Amino acid sequence: MREIIVNLLLGVGLLAAINSLFQVACFLLIYLRPSKLHRYRHTTAGKPAWAFVTGSSDGIGKAYAFELASRGFNVALHGRSSAKLAKLSEELTAAFPNRSFKTIVADASQCATDEIVSALQGHNLTVLINNAGGGPVPSFGMVSDYTEKEIMDNVNLNATFPALLLSRLLPTLVCNAPSLVINMGSMADNGLPLMSFYNGSKAFSRILCQTMANDMVLEGHAVEVMCVQTGGVTGTSHIKIKPDLFNPDTRTFVKAALARVGCGRAVVVGYFPHALQQVMSDMMPGIIKQKVFINVMKQRREGERERMKNN
């Protein structure tokens, strides 16, 4: 009897070890396999491929515009400031004279999609980067600290606008398939305190991508849908520190995100060091994770309050 129990425990241990090794291998494969972005750079009816990047005036969106242009895509740029977009278009044209660029001014917080759909009509759109988004001001607070308009504008920006834009542009992407959709998610959508409706909006975007990815398979459409979970990135509106391992600059982050194209995951942490942070967080017991989150967010709120006082 004792021998049977020992053999049973050894068998269970072996299966657990094999499962752990399999999980590690699957995790590493995401970051080792080559990108398949090139499959979306194709002509349709003789028209060259276009990528559309929302919120491309600066930060991560601007980095996407430069990186996609360097990979051979013409790029449509979106933002609220015509002056910023015009300047960016000039920079891109100087850097990539053989590419075409166009600017589209529309307010994402007001879910303005008509202007976008009209401007993209007739173009071979094969890549959509839903990047427009951001937190409220101040970034950290209780939901009761914000006005109804502030909450609605932020939810529109991070959840409603990308969903409506997808609904308007999906027929075009299906027609021009193979096509790619990337929604920018956030690693903060796991219940970090003091970011309630922002986190909720990003969680909506993540589930939207998971569902749409399954929809495309069900319908037999060659449209890849990904949600790229984002951690700390310097050169954005809320992080201005010097780049380091866990806070890369925008270009480094975007290269990593585009490297994940074709990885087979509908939701993926784009940058490998961020993925390691996510793994460590997932391994924490719930009570410890809660305490860590609360302490970190308290410090961030205090830091933001100090900066706002000094300004």
CATH code for position 230: 3.40.50.720
Q: Residue 10's pLDDT is what?
A: 73
Residue 255 lies in a domain: yes
Where b means 16+ CB within 10 Å and e means fewer, 131-148 reads: bbbbbbeeebbeeeebee
Q: Residue 22's pLDDT is what?
A: 83
Alpha-carbon distance of 99 to 305, in angstroms, equals 44
Q: Residue 86's pLDDT is what?
A: 97
pLDDT band at residue 235 using 50, 70 and 90 as cut-offs: confident
Angle at Cα 155 formed by Cα 206 and Cα 142, nearest 5°?
105
Q: How far is CA 287 from the centre of its chain?
A: 28
Domains: count for the chain: 1
Q: Residue 184's pLDDT is what?
A: 97
Instruction: Give the range of the structural domain holding residue 82, as residue numbers without chain letter.
Output: 34-283
Kind and range of the H or E element at 165?
A: helix 161-175
Q: Give the residue with greater pLDDT, 84 vs 8.
A: 84
Residue 135 lies in a domain: yes
Q: Is the peptide bond before 138 cis (omega within 30 degrees of 0)?
A: yes
Q: Is the pLDDT of residue 262 over 80?
A: yes
pLDDT (average), residues 268-278: 96
pTM of the model: 0.93
Residue 63 lies in a domain: yes
Residue 126 lies in a domain: yes
Residue 191 lies in a domain: yes
Residue 308 lies in a domain: no
Query: How many CB atoms are closer than 10 A to CB 264?
Result: 14
Q: Residue 29's pLDDT is what?
A: 92
β-pairing, 267-269 vs 223-229, is parallel
Q: Residue 206's pLDDT is what?
A: 96
- Structure tokens given for 236: 């954005």
Residue 26 lies in a domain: no
pLDDT band at residue 173 using 50, 70 and 90 as cut-offs: very high
- Structure tokens given for 292: 């860590």
pLDDT (average), residues 5-16: 74
pLDDT band at residue 273 using 50, 70 and 90 as cut-offs: very high
Q: Percentage of residues in the chain with pLDDT exceeding 90?
A: 81
Mean pLDDT of the chain, nearest integer: 93
Q: Is the pLDDT of residue 275 over 90?
A: yes
Q: Give the residue with greater pLDDT, 103 vs 191.
A: 103
Q: Is 210 exposed, middle or buried (0-12, 13-18, 19+ CB in 10 A)?
A: middle
Q: Is the pLDDT of residue 2 over 80?
A: no
pLDDT band at residue 17 using 50, 70 and 90 as cut-offs: confident
Q: Is the pLDDT of residue 164 over 90?
A: yes
pLDDT band at residue 15 using 50, 70 and 90 as cut-offs: confident
Residue 180 lies in a domain: yes
Q: Is the pLDDT of residue 43 over 80?
A: yes
Q: Give the residue with greater pLDDT, 227 vs 10.
A: 227
